[in-house]
Amino acid sequence: MPWVHLHVYTDGKVTPCCSNFLHYGRVNEQSPTAIFNGRPIRAFRLRMLEDKKEKRCQSCYQIEAAGGKSIRQDTIERYAGQLPELLQNTDEKGTLKGGTPLFYDLRTSNQCNLRCRTCYHGNSSKWFKEAELLGRTAAPQAKISAFEKISCADYIAETLPGVEEFYFAGGEPLMMEEHWQILDQLIAMKKFNTLLRYNTNLSTLQYKGRNIIPLWQQFDHLALGISIDAFGAAGEYIRKDLRWSKFMENIQTIKTLLPNAVLRFEPTVSLLNIFRLTADHQQAIDQGWISPNAWHLNILQRPDLFSIQTLPAEQKRQVETQIRTFLDRSDSVLNNSTKEAYEGVIAFMKQADLSSYLPAFQQEIIQLDQLRKESWADELPELSVLMPAD
C-alpha cells in the first residue's frame, strides 16, 4: 500500500488505507507529494521491506488469518505489475523517487443522505440529529469535511496526471461536491482510462440537478460496490431513509445505460443481517440482480455490539449450518473467492466470544426503535433469539 496509495479520511487525516490509521499527515497542512515521501510513510515502507509486522495492519492480518481476502492482498494483486519498478526506485531511506500516488481512496466528508444502523455521525451527516439526542456526536455540526483551506480538486491537482484509480467512499460519494469536481477534472483532462471505483448506497443518481450517468458513460472502467445490507423492508430498516423501490430502479438504470459497469453488492455483515445473508444472496442470484459472485462480504469490525462475534454459541452454530448448506447447494455457481469469503465469515465469527456485548446490542436496538418509531420485530423478526423476552 505505501508505494501506491493514499487514503484521505473525513477528518482530513491522510493514512495508509481505510483500516490503518497511521498518521501520514493532514490535507490542510501538507501537499500529497510531500506526504507521499514524508517521514511516516518512508518509515512504513522500510518496515514493510524488512518484513516486519505492522500492528496497525491488524484488521488485514485478521481477515487473511480467517481465510478472507484483505484490502492489502487485493491492492497488491492490482498493482503487481508495477511493484518491481516501484521497489527499485525506493532508496535506503524509504523515499520513492518521483513517486506520487497511483491510487486515492477519498472520503472527503461525511455527507450522506442515509442513517444506517451500523453507521454513526462521523460517517454520515444525516445521523447528526439523532446523535445529538443520544449524546454521541462526532463534531458540533452535521457536516465534517476533510477540506477546509483548499478544495480537494486543487489539493490533488499536481498528482492527478499519475493517478490510475480513485476509490470514492464516504459518507455517500454521490452526495459530495468534491467527487463531482474530480470527475469534471478527469473529463477535462480526457483521463477516461482512470479506474473509478465506488462504495455507494445507490439511493440516488442525482446531485444538485446533475445526473451521474452521462459522466460515468465517458469512462472506460467503472466499478460500483453497492452497499446493501438486506433487501426490501429489512434493508430500509437497517439503512434508514433508503427507498427500496428507488434503489432497484437505479440498479436497472445502470444495467441498461452502463452495460460495462462492474456491479457488486457489498453487504456489511453484522448481527442485523447475518441470519438472512445467504437467503438474500440466493434471491439476488435468482432475480438476476447480480451475477452469483458479485457479492462482496464486508465483515463489520466495529462497533463490537453489532459484530457477529457477539452472537451466542448456539446462534453461531445455526449461522454456520446456514452458510454451509448454502455453499453446498450453490457449489456449482460460486467461485473460490466467494466461498472463501463465506468461510472467512464463519472463521471471524468463531474467532472471539463477544457475547457480553449482547445487552448493549439490545439497548441500541430498542433505543433507536423508540427514536425512529419503528420496531425490529416487524422488519427483522429473526432477531427475537437475541432480544429480551417481553
The residue ranges that bind ligand SF4 (CB under 6 A) are: 112, 114-116, 119, 123-124, 170-172, 201, 227, 239
Cell digits for 7?
A: 487514503
Cell digits for 102?
A: 497511483
CB of 32 to ligand SF4, least distance (A): 24
CB of 375 to ligand SF4, least distance (A): 20
Least Cα distance to 282 among 350, 225, 329, 235 occurs for 329
CB count within 10 Å of CB 285 equals 18
CB of 314 to ligand SF4, least distance (A): 29
CB of 256 to ligand SF4, least distance (A): 24
Judged by beta carbon, residue 101 or residue 170, the one nearer ligand SF4 is: 170
CB of 262 to ligand SF4, least distance (A): 20
DSSP output for 11-71 = TSEEESSSS-----EETTTS-HHHHHTSHHHHHHHHHHHTT---GGGHHHHHHHHTT---H
Judged by beta carbon, residue 30 or residue 113, the one nearer ligand SF4 is: 113
How far is the C-alpha of 161 from the C-alpha of 169, rounded, in Å? 21
CB of 372 to ligand SF4, least distance (A): 13
C-alpha dist (Å) from residue 122 to 4, 135, 273: 26, 13, 22
Judged by beta carbon, residue 79 or residue 120, the one nearer ligand SF4 is: 120
CB of 170 to ligand SF4, least distance (A): 5
Judged by beta carbon, residue 36 or residue 127, the one nearer ligand SF4 is: 127
Q: Is 110 exposed, middle or buried (0-12, 13-18, 19+ CB in 10 A)?
A: buried
Least Cα distance to 27 among 165, 149, 181 occurs for 149
Judged by beta carbon, residue 296 or residue 339, the one nearer ligand SF4 is: 296
Judged by beta carbon, residue 25 or residue 171, the one nearer ligand SF4 is: 171
Least Cα distance to 386 among 219, 272, 215 occurs for 272
How far is the C-alpha of 145 from the C-alpha of 306, rounded, in Å? 26
Judged by beta carbon, residue 90 or residue 227, the one nearer ligand SF4 is: 227
